[in-house]
Structure 1
Amino acid sequence: MRRNQRGPRLLGGSSLTALLAAGLLPLTAGGPASATTPADAPATAEPAAETRGAALPYVEYEAEDAEYQGTLLEADPERTFGHTNFATESSGRRSVRLDATGDHVTVTATAPANSLVVRNSIPDAPGGGGVEETLSLYVNDTFVEKVTLSSRHSWLYGTTDDPEGLTNTPGGDARRLFDESHLLLAETYPAGSTFRLQRDADDSAEYYVVDLIDLEEVAPPAEQPAECTSITEFGAVPDDGEDDTAALQAAVTADQNGEIDCVWIPAGQWRQEQKILTDDPESRGQFNQVGIRDVDIRGAGMWHSQLYTLTPPHEAGGINHPHEGNFGFDIDANTQIADIAIFGSGTIRGGDGGHEGGVGLNGRFGEGTRISRVWIEHANVGVWVGRDVDNIPELWGPADGLEFTDVRIRNTYADGINFTNGTRDSSVRNSSFRNTGDDALAIWANPRVADPSVDVTHGNTFANNTIQLPWRANGIAVYGGYDNTVEHNTIADTMNYPGIMLATDHDPLPFSGQTLVAGNVLHRTGGAFWGEAQEFGAITLFAATHDITGVTIRDTEIHDSTYDGIQFKSGGGAVPEATISGVTIEGSLNGAGILAHGGARGSANLTDVTISGMADGDVVVEPGSQFVINGW
C-alpha cells in the first residue's frame, strides 16, 4: 500500500545520538534533542503567549502521512487500549506496519537535518525482557546505516488497571507497546532530502510498526566554559563503560563546598550507577536522603553530554533509595542543571516483585533551582518535586520559584513532572512529554507538609508544553491547591484518561482561589478506564471528595474527543459556579459536548461555547443530576 506524503506535524519529539561506547547500550537508551541551546540546535524563539504547545527545533512526520509501503493500522472507534492495540497507542491513532522485505516509510525533510528519532514497536522476546533488531536507513536513496531498535523498555502485560500490577512476563494482553530509537548522523542533509526506513532482507524482526519520525539539525557540542571544572579532572573517563559515579559525585560535592565554580560534563557517554546527593553525616538511612544544593551543572548539549545507567534500579545492589533509583540527581535547593541527558534503565512500575524504574530528578528543590534543556528517559518518574515533611523534618521546605524550561521527558512508567508537597510559584514551560505512564504534568496539593493551612500547593504554571501519548492517566492534572494555571498547551492522544483533569482524589488539600485552564488545544483525548467501565472526557472535573471551586475554562479547543468534550463526573463533592467561555468542542466519536453525570453536583456558566459533531448530543445532564448548566 502506498500513500503520497503530506505535510509534517509540528508536535513534540525526541532524539538520541549514536552511543560512542560501542556495545555498551542499545541505541534506544536515549531521549529527545535539545531545544534552544546552541550546543544542540539552532536557537528556537520563545513561543508567543497565545501560541499553543512548545516551540521545538525538530519537525515531526507521521508515518501514515508519508510515502510508505506496508500496512496501515487504524484504531477502532472506541480507541480500545490495553489489549495489544498498536493503532490506539499510535500518534494520531494510526501507524504503519512493515512485514515484508522492501516495506518502508519515506519522509521528505522540510528543513536541514542530521539526526533522526523513530517511534516504533518490535516484538518482545518470547520470555520477556525485550530484543534488539535493526531497520535500514537510506537518505536520498543511499544506504547510510542500520538503526538499532529495542523492545527492552516496552511490552507490559496484564489486565489490571493498577499499573503496579503489570508485569514484564509475557502472558495475556499487552500495553506500552512503543519505544523510541535515536541516531545522530555523520553529516547534515539539506531540506528536500528523503529519509527512508526500510526493511531489508537482513532486518529480521517478525514485524516493525513505525509511528512517527522526527528530524532535526543538531549543532556541535558546546565548549567548556572557562569558569567550569570538568568531571574528567575528578577521574571520569568518557565512553569506556566504567562507572563514573564517584567522579561525578566528587565534582558536585566540590562545587557545593565552594571549591570550584561549576561542574562541566563534557560530550560523551558517562555511566552513572548511583544517584548524586549529599552524604548525610547522621546516616539517617536510604529513605531519608539529603539532596544537593548550591550547585551549577552544565553540559555540552542533550545530544552530547549523556549520563546513563545499565542496571535496572531493582537489580542495583546498594542503590540510594528503593523508590528513587540509582541514577540522576537528588536536589534540595539552589541548583542549576542544563544541557545534559539522563537515561535510566527502568523496565517496569511495580509488578514482578514491586520493582520500580527510579526518578530522574527528585528532592525538595527549595528556592533558586532552574532546570533547562534536560532530557530524561526510561525512568519511573521524570521529576518528582517535593518530600513529605516526616522525611527529615528539619530539612523540609517546599519548592519555591522552581523553573523547568525546554525539558524533554520520554517513555516513563509513571509521571513526567509532579509538583507536590507545597510547591509554589513554580513553572514548566516550553517542554515536551511523550509516552508517560501516568500524568505527564501534575499539581498535587499533598497534605504531608509542615502546616496544611499554609503549605498548600499554589501559584504554579504549566504553559506552552506539548504532551503526546500518555499511556496511563492524564495529559495534565491538578489535584487541589489554589491559583494554579494550565495555559497554551497542546495535548494529544491520551490512552484512557482526560487530556486535562481537575480532581480531588489522592487526598489533596482543597481547591480554593482560581484554577485557570486557558488557551489549550486537545486532540483525541479522553478514554475508558477502571475495567473499561468509566468513560472520561477530554476535560474532566471529578470532585471525588472536596469541592472543586474557582474553575475557569476559556479559549480552548477540543477536537475529536474519544468520549465527552467536557465532563462533570459523579463524586462526593461539587463543582460550583464553573465558568466556561470561548470554548470550541468539535467532534466526538462516542460522547457529548458537555456531560454532567447523574451524581454530579454544582453548576457551570457557558459563554460563547460552540459545539458540533457530537455522537450523544451537545449538552447533556443525566437524569437525577443536581448539576445545572446555564447559558446554553
Structure 2
Amino acid sequence: MHRTVRGMPAALVVVLAAGLLTATAPTAHAAVGATLPFTSVEAESATTTGSKIGPDHTQGTLASEASGRQAVRITSGQRVEFTVPGAANAVNLAYSVPDGQSGSLDVYVNGTRISRTLAVTSKYSYVDTPWIPGARTHHFYDNARLVLGQNVQAGDKVAFQSTGTQVTVDVADFEQVVAAAAQPAGSVSVVSKGADPSGNGDSTQAFRDAIASAQGGIVWIPPGDYRLTSSLSGVQNVTLQGAGSWHSVVHTSRFIDQSGSSGSVHIKNFAVIGEVTERVDSDPDNFVNGSLGPNSSVSGMWLQHLKVGLWLLGNNDNLVVENNRLLDMTADGLNLNGNARGVRVRNNFLRNQGDDALAMWSLYAPDTDSSFEDNTISQPNLANGIAIYGGTDIAVRNNLISDTNALGSGIAISNQKFLDPFHPLAGTITVDGNTLVRTGAMNPNWNHPMGALRVDSYDSAINANIRITDTTITDSPYSAFEFVSGGGQGYPVRGVTVDGATVRNTGTVVVQAEAQGAATFRNVTATGVGAAGIYNCPYPAGSGTFDLTDGGGNSGWSSTWSDCSTWPQPGQGNPDPDPTRNLAMGRPATATGSQDAYTPGKAVDGDANSYWESTNDAFPQSWTVDLGSTQAVRRLVLKLPPSAAWGARTQTVTVLGGTNGSTYTTVLGPAGHRFDPATGNTATVSLPSGTSLRYLRLSVSANTGWPAGQFSEVEVYPTS
C-alpha cells in the first residue's frame, strides 16, 4: 500500500500476500528474521573486474535500491566471482540491466565455464507509478535462478561474466536444492487430467478438473512447467501440492481469484511465476486475490513477477502463510485487507517489492489478533517493509527488515485510512524484537525524511496501547523513531511506550517528533547519532507539543535540535554515519549548455561510461549540481569514461559554491586537472577546510583533448 503526502489525497493501491522458503539468517541477526534454505553473498564483498557502485540513499538510483546500498557493475568480459559459503547446487541472482535491454551471463565454477547460462532482462523492471505522489521510476532489480548441474562446496568459486550487456550484480543466494518429492498416495495428478508439463499447452482446465476430483484430498503437481491462461475459482477443501518450488512451476499472473471459500485450502511446495511487467491497480494480477477461506495455509511457495502475492479480502480466519519466498512484485507482497482474524504470516522471505512488503489494512472491518512474525524483508523500493493501517490487537514480532527506499519506513504503525469505512488502531499493538537495518527514507513530498520506525496519526488520533519493545535500529540514514501526523491535520499520537532499544549510527536524530501527543522511553541507548538526540517540532506549527517521558535507562540521545525552521542533515553536529556517501549522486544538475544526448544529469547518474559534454567551441562552460541542502564538502572526484579510447587530457576548472542557487563565490581558482586513462581518467580535488555549500558549480575554461567541458561523474564527499 503506498503512502501519500501531507494534505494530499491517498492513492489506493493493490497488494497481496507474501511467501518464503527456509535458510539461515545472517549471523549478525541470528535471533530475528526467517530461517532460510539459502545463504546470501553481497556482490560488493565478492571479487570483481567490474566497478562497485554506492553506497547511496538517493531516490531513483541503482545503488539506493541495492541490498546494502551497494552493488557491482560489469560490462562485456567483466565478471563477479563469489566464494560459495556452503554446500549448494543452485543459485538465485539479484541483478539489474539497463532499461530495454536483455542478455545473458556466462557462469563459471572454479574457473571452468559450465554449459548453462543465466538469462538477464529488464522486462520486469523500471516501473512507473505517476498516480502516486512523489514516486519516480523504481523497481530496478530482478531475480533469476539457475540450477548449476553440479554440487559445489564451501570455498568453491562461482563467477558470472557479462557477454555484452551491462549488468549490475547485487546479491547471490546459494542453495542446496533437494530432489523432487514423490507423488502422495491417493492424490490426483494434474497430468492425469491432461495438464502439459512442457509448458506448451494450456493446462487451465486440467487444474480445474483435478481440483473438482480431489475434494477433501490432494491435487498433485508433478515436476514440470505448466501454463495457465486464466485464474482458478471455487477452490475449497483441497490441497494443491507440488514436488518443490524448484521443480513444479506454474506460469500465470492470476492463480486464484475468488471472493469467498468454505476454507481448508492448503497450497504448498511449488512456484507460481507471472508475467507482470507494470503495475495496474485495477487488475487482479495476484497469486491469490480475495479469499482462501478459514483454516487455510500457504507454505513452501516461490512467488515471482506478480503484482501482489496475496491480496486477502476477508473470510480468511486462522490462515497461516509461512516458509514462502516472494520476489519482484510490482506492488505489495501480502495485504490483509480487513476482516483478518487470527492470521499468522511467519518465516517468509520478501525481496524487491514495489510497495509495502507486508501490510494489514483495516478496511470495512478491523484486522484482529493477527501477526507478522519472523519474516526477512529486503529492498521494498517504494513504501514500507511492514505497515499496519488500523486494526485491533496486532503483533509485529522478530522481523528483520533492511534497505527501504523512497516513501517508506522499516515499520509503519498508522491510522492512514485510504478509504472508508476504516477502523483505526485499537487495543494493544505489539511491536517486539524487530531489527531494522538502513531503513527510513527521504520523503520527496515532505522534503524531509521518515524514520526507521514510524507511528503516524495520519487521518485520526492514535489512542491505542502501542508497545515497542526490544528494537534494534542500525545505520538508519535519517532518524530512528518518528511520531507524525502525516496528513497534516495535527492529530495526536498517544499511548506509546518504547522499552528497550539499541540505536547505532542514525544519520540525524533518535526521536523525530512531529505530532502532538506523548510517549515514554525506557532503556533506549544510542551511539553514533548524526545531529542531535531529539527533533521535537510538531506539524503543523502550533498544533501542540509532544511530551517525551524519561522512564530511565536511556543514554546517548539527550540533546535537542534547536532550530525548527530547518531539518537536520546527516552528520550535522557529529560524524556522518556514512562518510563515504556521494552527496551528488542522483541530484538535479544543470549546465550552460550540452551537446546532443550528453546532458548534465549524465554526470551524476552513477555510470562512469555516460557523460556530460558542454556546447563545443564556447568556453567557458559551467556545470552545476544542487545537493539539496547546505553541506560541509571536503573532496571532489571528477571522472571521464575509463575507456582507453578517451585519450589523456587536462581540463582547467574553477570550483564555485553557493547556498541559494543565484549567488556564487569562488572556492578554488582555475587550475588544470589531468585525466589519464592509465590512471582511470580520474582527478581528485581537495577543497579548503570549512567549505560549505548547497550548489556546486564547476566552470571549465579549457580542455586540451576536446573543445568543450566534459565529466562522466562528479562525486562530492564530506570527508577529505
Q: State the TM-score, normalizing by the size of structure 2.
A: 0.69
Aligned residue number for residue 156 of structure 1: 127
Structure 2 Cα separation of the partners of residues 611 and 150 of structure 1:
43
In structure 2, the CA distance between the partners of 1:340 and 1:158, relative to structure 1 (3 Å rule), is: closer
In structure 2, the CA distance between the partners of 1:355 and 1:403, relative to structure 1 (3 Å rule), is: closer
User: Which of residues 242, 245, 270 is equivalent to 2:226?
Assistant: 270
Is 1:51–1:464's contact at 8 Å kept on the other side of the alignment?
Answer: no
Aligned residue number for residue 460 of structure 1: 370
Is 1:266–1:305's contact at 8 Å kept on the other side of the alignment?
Answer: yes
What is the CA deviation profile of residues 21-54 of structure 1, one whole-angstrom value per residue up to 9, with x for unaligned ones?
xxxxxxxxxxx99735xxxxxx989x9x992000
In structure 2, the CA distance between the partners of 1:517 and 1:305, relative to structure 1 (3 Å rule), is: same
Counting strand residues as a fraction of each chain, which structure ranks higher?
2
Written as runs of structure 1 = structure 2, the 5 A alignment for 1:364-383 is 364-383=291-310
Structure 1 Cα separation of the partners of residues 168 and 20 of structure 2:
26
Structure 1 Cα separation of the partners of residues 133 and 277 of structure 2:
16
Aligned residue number for residue 139 of structure 1: 109
Aligned residue number for residue 348 of structure 1: 278
Aligned residue number for residue 98 of structure 2: 123
Aligned residue number for residue 412 of structure 2: 501
One-letter amino acid of the structure 2 residue matched with residue 302 of structure 1: S
Is 2:75–2:164's contact at 8 Å kept on the other side of the alignment?
Answer: no
RMSD between superposed Cα atoms in Å: 2.3
Is 1:612–1:618's contact at 8 Å kept on the other side of the alignment?
Answer: no
Aligned residue number for residue 233 of structure 1: 192
Is 2:187–2:214's contact at 8 Å kept on the other side of the alignment?
Answer: no
Aligned residue number for residue 339 of structure 1: 269
Structure 2 Cα separation of the partners of residues 509 and 133 of structure 1:
48
Structure 1 Cα separation of the partners of residues 335 and 282 of structure 2:
20
User: In the alignment, is residue 96 of structure 1 matched against residue 82 of structure 2?
Assistant: no
Structure 1 Cα separation of the partners of residues 394 and 147 of structure 2:
39
What is the CA deviation profile of residues 151-185 of structure 1, one whole-angstrom value per residue up to 9, with x for unaligned ones?
1100124766449xx8xxxxxx6321111111012
In structure 2, the CA distance between the partners of 1:197 and 1:462, relative to structure 1 (3 Å rule), is: same
Aligned residue number for residue 184 of structure 1: 147
User: Which of residues 524, 534, 538 is equivalent to 2:452?
Assistant: 538
Structure 2 Cα separation of the partners of residues 249 and 294 of structure 1:
14
In structure 2, the CA distance between the partners of 1:505 and 1:133, relative to structure 1 (3 Å rule), is: same
Partner-residue secondary structure (3-state), 2:264: strand
Written as runs of structure 1 = structure 2, the 5 A alignment for 1:40-55 is 51-55=31-35
User: Which of residues 484, 500, 505 is equivalent to 1:587?
Assistant: 505
User: In the alignment, is residue 74 of structure 1 matched against residue 54 of structure 2?
Assistant: yes
Structure 1 Cα separation of the partners of residues 197 and 309 of structure 2:
24
Partner-residue secondary structure (3-state), 1:474: coil
In structure 2, the CA distance between the partners of 1:34 and 1:438, relative to structure 1 (3 Å rule), is: closer
What is the CA deviation profile of residues 351-385 of structure 1, one whole-angstrom value per residue up to 9, with x for unaligned ones?
xxx77470111222321101111111111111011
Structure 1 Cα separation of the partners of residues 130 and 66 of structure 2:
20
User: In the alignment, is residue 557 of structure 1 matched against residue 557 of structure 2?
Assistant: no
User: Which of residues 432, 439, 449 is equivalent to 1:518?
Assistant: 432
User: Which of residues 181, 193, 198 is equivalent to 2:156?
Assistant: 193
Q: Which has the higher contact order (CA 8 A, sep 6+)?
A: 1
Unaligned runs of 5+ in 2: 1-17, 555-720
Aligned residue number for residue 220 of structure 1: 179
CA drift of 1:547 comes to 2.3
CA drift of 1:190 comes to 2.0
Is 2:504–2:527's contact at 8 Å kept on the other side of the alignment?
Answer: yes
Structure 2 Cα separation of the partners of residues 561 and 44 of structure 1:
24
Is 2:19–2:309's contact at 8 Å kept on the other side of the alignment?
Answer: no
Aligned residue number for residue 440 of structure 1: 357
One-letter amino acid of the structure 2 residue matched with residue 550 of structure 1: N
Is 1:161–1:531's contact at 8 Å kept on the other side of the alignment?
Answer: no
Aligned residue number for residue 545 of structure 2: 626
In structure 2, the CA distance between the partners of 1:439 and 1:33, relative to structure 1 (3 Å rule), is: closer
Structure 2 Cα separation of the partners of residues 363 and 355 of structure 1:
13
Aligned residue number for residue 480 of structure 1: 390
User: In the alignment, is residue 204 of structure 1 matched against residue 164 of structure 2?
Assistant: yes
Structure 1 Cα separation of the partners of residues 356 and 477 of structure 2:
18
Structure 2 Cα separation of the partners of residues 178 and 188 of structure 1:
27
What is the CA deviation profile of residues 511-555 of structure 1, one whole-angstrom value per residue up to 9, with x for unaligned ones?
111000010000001112343624110001110122222100010
CA drift of 1:327 comes to 3.2
User: In the alignment, is residue 423 of structure 1 matched against residue 340 of structure 2?
Assistant: yes
Structure 2 Cα separation of the partners of residues 344 and 158 of structure 1:
20
Unaligned runs of 5+ in 1: 1-31, 37-42, 126-130, 167-172, 279-291, 310-324, 388-397, 448-454
Is 2:245–2:271's contact at 8 Å kept on the other side of the alignment?
Answer: yes
Aligned residue number for residue 65 of structure 1: 45
Structure 2 Cα separation of the partners of residues 245 and 364 of structure 1:
20
Structure 1 Cα separation of the partners of residues 199 and 505 of structure 2:
54
Structure 1 Cα separation of the partners of residues 178 and 549 of structure 2:
54
Q: State the TM-score, normalizing by the size of structure 1.
A: 0.78
Is 2:20–2:348's contact at 8 Å kept on the other side of the alignment?
Answer: no
Partner-residue secondary structure (3-state), 1:438: coil
Is 1:581–1:607's contact at 8 Å kept on the other side of the alignment?
Answer: yes
Structure 1 Cα separation of the partners of residues 373 and 20 of structure 2:
18
Report the number of matched residues.
Answer: 517
Aligned residue number for residue 530 of structure 2: 615
Is 1:578–1:603's contact at 8 Å kept on the other side of the alignment?
Answer: yes
Is 2:500–2:523's contact at 8 Å kept on the other side of the alignment?
Answer: yes
In structure 2, the CA distance between the partners of 1:33 and 1:239, relative to structure 1 (3 Å rule), is: farther
In structure 2, the CA distance between the partners of 1:133 and 1:328, relative to structure 1 (3 Å rule), is: farther
Aligned residue number for residue 249 of structure 2: 306
Structure 1 Cα separation of the partners of residues 225 and 291 of structure 2:
28
CA drift of 1:267 comes to 0.5
Is 1:112–1:191's contact at 8 Å kept on the other side of the alignment?
Answer: yes
Partner-residue secondary structure (3-state), 1:618: strand
Matched-pair identity in %: 32
Aligned residue number for residue 312 of structure 1: none
Partner-residue secondary structure (3-state), 1:236: coil
Partner-residue secondary structure (3-state), 1:192: coil
What is the CA deviation profile of residues 272-297 of structure 1, one whole-angstrom value per residue up to 9, with x for unaligned ones?
1111112xxxxxxxxxxxxx211111
Partner-residue secondary structure (3-state), 1:513: strand
CA drift of 1:577 comes to 2.5
Aligned residue number for residue 402 of structure 1: 319
Bigger Rg over Cα: 2
One-letter amino acid of the structure 1 residue matched with residue 264 of structure 2: N
